[in-house]
């Protein structure tokens, strides 16, 4: 099933080398399914067999943001292009809220017959993942939420993304975009940002470079913002293990983490030394944290259930 686009995966060897990820690289291939409205939802399959984990990216990113994390994790996985991003269809109504994304992701899990996997989501993907977990209880047996909570003020939390997207809509070259991203403090290296830009842009017929996602063609991020607090009920009714990952240089503060741990049953938190895009800044540390969570969730559910809420740091 699916098709392979070698050019799409041309950076994997370099990325593995940069983050010192050893061993043979897993096979990666592109596939797609229609959502319940007939729109295309595209995703990358890693490895063979049913996915152990499904990954959802943040606003303005795409499935490739997880490449290094999934390579380091070394488990069968899928990484979804959320609606309006990557190779997934744009919506005519420009509705990219978490609840809307969750419906599209649910259709992917349904089509693949996914059963008892860990759902990992960062930023907008983390909020979307919470709704997916609440509405697809048979398919999800653990949830990892990366540097976001339903209590985050979207006006504050999305400031960096909002400011970055508020710039020009087209550019003379990809290098110009890389320069702009680095000026905003995005990425751990110029090389890493250049890879991301190459996989998140296209060249128009007139030679100008534009982002591939729909958000770059919209005014502001209203299309990704749910009403404040509207997602809490989805998180509060979860009965599966939940791990909140806080980026040390991210957008969560102590109050937001404490609120999450108080309101989400059975939740724990861990801090990783990284910026908001943890999967790009510290993919190996993130993969190790997810691996531990997967082992505990799938292999030792009783141990998780008996543990108390808490927080710890991870360098």
Residues serving a catalytic function are 123, 147, 276
Of 265, 270, 222, which Cα lies nearest the Cα of 243?
A: 270
Distance (Å, whole) CA 229 – CA 254: 18
Of 220, 277, 228, which Cα lies nearest the Cα of 251?
A: 277
Strand pairing of 117-122 and 53-56? parallel
**Which two structure tokens, joined as six digits, stand for 51?**
């996915």
Tell me which H or E stretch contains 177. Answer: helix 174-183
**Which two structure tokens, joined as six digits, stand for 161?**
């993304």
Distance (Å, whole) CA 260 – CA 266: 10
Radius of gyration of the chain (CA): 18
Residue that the structure tokens 């048979």 belong to:
138
């Amino acid at each position: 099933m699916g098709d392979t686009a070698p050019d799409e995966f041309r950076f994997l060897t370099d990325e593995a080398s940069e983050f010192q990820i050893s061993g043979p690289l897993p096979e990666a291939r592109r596939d797609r399914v229609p959502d319940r409205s007939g729109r295309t939802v595209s995703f990358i399959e890693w490895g063979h067999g049913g996915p152990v984990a499904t990954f959802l990216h943040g606003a303005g990113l795409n499935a490739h943001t997880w490449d290094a994390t999934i390579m380091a994790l070394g488990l069968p996985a899928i990484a979804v292009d959320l609606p309006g991003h990557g190779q997934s269809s744009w919506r005519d109504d420009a509705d990219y809220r978490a609840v809307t994304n969750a419906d599209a992701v649910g259709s992917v899990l349904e089509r693949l017959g996914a059963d008892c996997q860990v759902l990992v989501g960062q930023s907008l993907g983390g909020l979307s993942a919470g709704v997916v977990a609440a509405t697809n209880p048979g398919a999800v047996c653990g949830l990892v939420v990366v540097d976001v909570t339903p209590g985050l003020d979207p006006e504050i939390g999305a400031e960096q993304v909002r400011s970055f997207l508020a710039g020009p809509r087209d550019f003379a070259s990809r290098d110009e975009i890389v320069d702009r991203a680095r000026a905003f403090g995005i990425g751990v290296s110029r090389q890493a940002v250049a890879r991301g830009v190459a996989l998140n842009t296209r060249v128009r017929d007139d030679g100008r470079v534009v982002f591939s996602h729909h958000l770059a063609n919209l005014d502001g991020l209203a299309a990704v913002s749910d009403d404040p607090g509207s997602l809490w009920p989805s998180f509060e009714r979860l009965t599966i293990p939940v791990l909140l990952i806080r980026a040390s240089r991210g957008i969560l503060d102590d109050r937001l983490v404490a609120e999450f741990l108080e309101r989400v049953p059975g939740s724990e938190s861990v801090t990783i030394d990284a910026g908001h895009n943890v999967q790009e800044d510290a993919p190996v540390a993130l993969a190790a944290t997810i691996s531990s969570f997967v082992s505990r969730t799938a292999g030792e559910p009783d141990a998780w259930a008996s543990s108390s809420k808490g927080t710890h740091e991870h360098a």
